[in-house]
Amino acid sequence: MGVEPDSHPPVVRLAFAVQPLVELAQVRALEWVDCPDKVFVTYAERADKVKQSTFFLSPGYLHLNLYD
């Protein structure tokens, strides 16, 4: 997570998750974080599996696949 410096209470600016594929449990966990930017990083080599797993992402998420 990226937290804004010198904010009390801390203000989260960025939340991210890193998994081989997008998992629904991780997406739901990020939904609890109140922040403007949410990123999901995947690193599975099989592009077809990564594409299928992005079904769980809502339009507000940025998806980065390390094998693109």
Q: Are strands 2-3 and 37-42 parallel, antiparallel or unpaired?
A: unpaired
pTM for the full predicted model: 0.84
The DSSP 8-state label assigned to residue 18 in this structure reads E
Q: Would residue 56 count as lying in a domain?
A: yes
pLDDT of residue 2: 80
Q: What is the pLDDT, as a whole number, of residue 24?
A: 94
**SS3 category, 9:** coil
Tell me whether residue 3 is in a domain: no
Residue 7 lies in a domain: no
Domain of 54, in residue numbers: 13-65
- Domains contained in the chain, number: 1
Strand duo 2-3 + 12-19: pairing: antiparallel
pLDDT string in tens for the chain (68-residue length):
788 888 888 888 999 999 999 999 999 999 998 889 999 999 999 999 999 999 999 888 999 999 87
Residue 31 covered by a domain: yes
* Tokens representing residue 37 in the block: 């930017």
- Which residue from 54, 56, 55 is spatially nearest to 65, judged by alpha carbons? 54
**Does residue 23 fall inside a structural domain?**
yes
- Pick the closest to residue 63 from 26, 10, 11 (CA basis): 26
